[in-house]
Amino acid sequence: MSDNISYTSKIVTRFAPSPTGLLHLGNYRTAVFAYLFARKNDGEFILRIEDTDRERSKKEFEDNILESLEWLGLKYDKFFRQSENIERHTFYLNKLISEGKAYISKEEAKDGSGVIKEIVRFKNPNKVVVFNDLIRGSIATDTTDLEDFVIAKSITEPLFHLAVVVDDFEEGITHILRGEDHIPNTPRQMLIQEALGFPHPNYAHLPLVLSPDRTKLSKRKGALPVTSYKDKGYLPSAILNFIALIGFNPGGEKEIFTLDELVNVFDMLKIQKGSAILNEEKLNWTNKEHIKLESKEEQFAIIKKYFNDYDDELLKKLQITIIERITHYGELSEVVNEFSYFKERETPVLEKLLWKETTKENIIKHLNYILSMMDTLNFSNVEKIKEVVYAYANENGKGEVLSPLRVSLSTRDKSPDPFMLLYVLGKEESIIRIKNAINILSS
């Protein structure tokens, strides 16, 4: 059973989240795999919001799911809301009851109210159910200890197992890709399918994404909603790339993929069986690689939002240096602070202008010499600046020339190299700052 062979009927997959909270990366990875599998096979990808639990489902969570999928670029072909399918759930519920395959049971409500309710229980045939999981092979379960499980809170209030089975059938789902935490649910759902005369869909249970403590990823353990990565300035292509390669690897040594490339290389047989832990550092590295993939213009547009009061000309000179410092665009706000000296002239402190045992006089001499060659420097080319200034530094002591120069221009002892500072600041501003430093050294 490989996705490389062609199926006789059209592949239809679905992502079926319940809108009861903000979904994290682990949840969306299920969507990514279902999406990749459908697209790889020219199939259909369906989004179904499972909102039958009226009390816990919230519109804001549904909106967040929609926003996240759109941001990630996972376009769905059809959209369903489970709560709008209650009629057909009731229809099949009645069918089951009339055929003696389910029955109404008068029981005390579990909410402690003491009210007697008419819930619907499935008449368990108590048999061994076997299915061939596309990822892990044959899985057999004796359903006897499941007893007559509840499938509806009332004839008009279907529960998960019934609703899922009916909707998957009615929507023509051929392949169900979901987390392995659903493996125990599969036998019950297959029992209902059999009672209703539905065919069994194909199942592929994905390995779980774990927290660093090796337990299921959860909000409580710090798992962030996908939209928070959006807010922090991560690239959707990087998030996609990163989560697709957790539990899946096409083989080979390529690490960076676009969505289209992922669709191309996707192969269900290459999905991992064991669960995996999220590695934030690799996410950051992946994101940086995707930033590098962006065009100069795309990068600039975002940088400009943070460095909004910078002159375009100066910012373009600074762009490469800025990009080098970040892993995701949200870090730009820190870089704005770090690079404040590019925008506002600041006053260097005497101690930082000094270099080891070198006398003030010598430092002043070096700075004056650099000042004297300003007219000969080609300020439109950082390499040319480097050639000339470095030659002098190399002859007269790298440290005692370059360190005071850097502090003169940036006032900091940690900054880009002085050649870059000269290039970005330009001739006029550089002269002013160096003269200012000489004054401080002279006083």
The one among 104, 155, 183, 196 contacting RNA by CB under 7 A: 183
* Residues between 86 and 105 that touch RNA (CB under 7 A): none
* Residues between 338 and 377 that touch RNA (CB under 7 A): none
* Residues between 379 and 408 that touch RNA (CB under 7 A): 383, 386, 390, 398-399, 402-403, 406
Of 35-43, 109-117, 226-234, 423-431, which segment contacts RNA by CB under 7 A? 109-117
Based on the shown chain and the rule CB under 7 A, indicate whether residue 16 belongs to the binding site for RNA.
yes
Based on the shown chain and the rule CB under 7 A, indicate whether residue 272 belongs to the binding site for RNA.
yes
Minimum CB separation of residue 194 from RNA in Å reads 18
Residue 123 · residue 101 · CB < 8 Å: yes
Residue 122 · residue 148 · CB < 8 Å: yes
Task: Give Rg (Cα) of the chain.
Answer: 32
The length of the chain, given as a count of residues: 443
Of 61-69, 231-239, 279-287, 372-380, which segment contacts RNA by CB under 7 A? 279-287
DSSP 298-353: HHHHHHHHHSTTS-HHHHHHHHHHHHHH-SSGGGHHHHHHHTHHHHS--PPPHHHH
Residue 350 · residue 440 · CB < 8 Å: yes
The one among 5, 337, 414, 442 contacting RNA by CB under 7 A: 414
Gap between the Cα atoms of 241 and 397, Å rounded:
47
DSSP 87-118: HHHHHHHHHHHHTTSEEEEEEE-TTTT--EEE
Residue 184 · residue 142 · CB < 8 Å: no
Q: Rank residues 9 and 376 by Cβ distance to RNA and give the closer one.
A: 376
Minimum CB separation of residue 8 from RNA in Å reads 27
Residue 103 · residue 120 · CB < 8 Å: yes
Based on the shown chain and the rule CB under 7 A, indicate whether residue 210 belongs to the binding site for RNA.
yes
Site string for RNA, 20-49 (x = CB under 7 A): x-----------------------------
Q: Is 267 helix (H, G, I), strand (E, B) or coil?
A: coil
Of 228-236, 293-301, 362-370, 409-417, which segment contacts RNA by CB under 7 A? 409-417
Based on the shown chain and the rule CB under 7 A, indicate whether residue 109 belongs to the binding site for RNA.
yes
# residues contacting RNA (CB under 7 A): 80
Q: Rank residues 97 and 183 by Cβ distance to RNA and give the closer one.
A: 183
Residue 89 · residue 162 · CB < 8 Å: yes
Residue 327 · residue 285 · CB < 8 Å: yes
Based on the shown chain and the rule CB under 7 A, indicate whether residue 81 belongs to the binding site for RNA.
no
Q: Rank residues 150 and 259 by Cβ distance to RNA and give the closer one.
A: 150
Based on the shown chain and the rule CB under 7 A, indicate whether residue 324 belongs to the binding site for RNA.
yes
Pairing of strands 116-122, 150-154: antiparallel
Gap between the Cα atoms of 277 and 217, Å rounded:
9
The one among 81, 95, 101, 117 contacting RNA by CB under 7 A: 117
Q: Rank residues 114 and 443 by Cβ distance to RNA and give the closer one.
A: 114
Q: Rank residues 39 and 89 by Cβ distance to RNA and give the closer one.
A: 89
Based on the shown chain and the rule CB under 7 A, indicate whether residue 140 belongs to the binding site for RNA.
yes
Q: Rank residues 198 and 390 by Cβ distance to RNA and give the closer one.
A: 390
Gap between the Cα atoms of 174 and 189, Å rounded:
14
Minimum CB separation of residue 88 from RNA in Å reads 15
Angle between helical axes of 59-72 and 25-40 (0-180°, round to 10)? 50
Gap between the Cα atoms of 234 and 294, Å rounded:
13
The one among 159, 364, 388, 431 contacting RNA by CB under 7 A: 159
Of 61-69, 155-163, 231-239, 295-303, which segment contacts RNA by CB under 7 A? 155-163
Residue 16 · residue 164 · CB < 8 Å: yes
Q: Rank residues 44 and 180 by Cβ distance to RNA and give the closer one.
A: 180
The one among 112, 251, 295, 375 contacting RNA by CB under 7 A: 251
Residue 305 phi/psi, 5° resolution?
-65, -35
Minimum CB separation of residue 106 from RNA in Å reads 9
The one among 58, 127, 219, 282 contacting RNA by CB under 7 A: 282
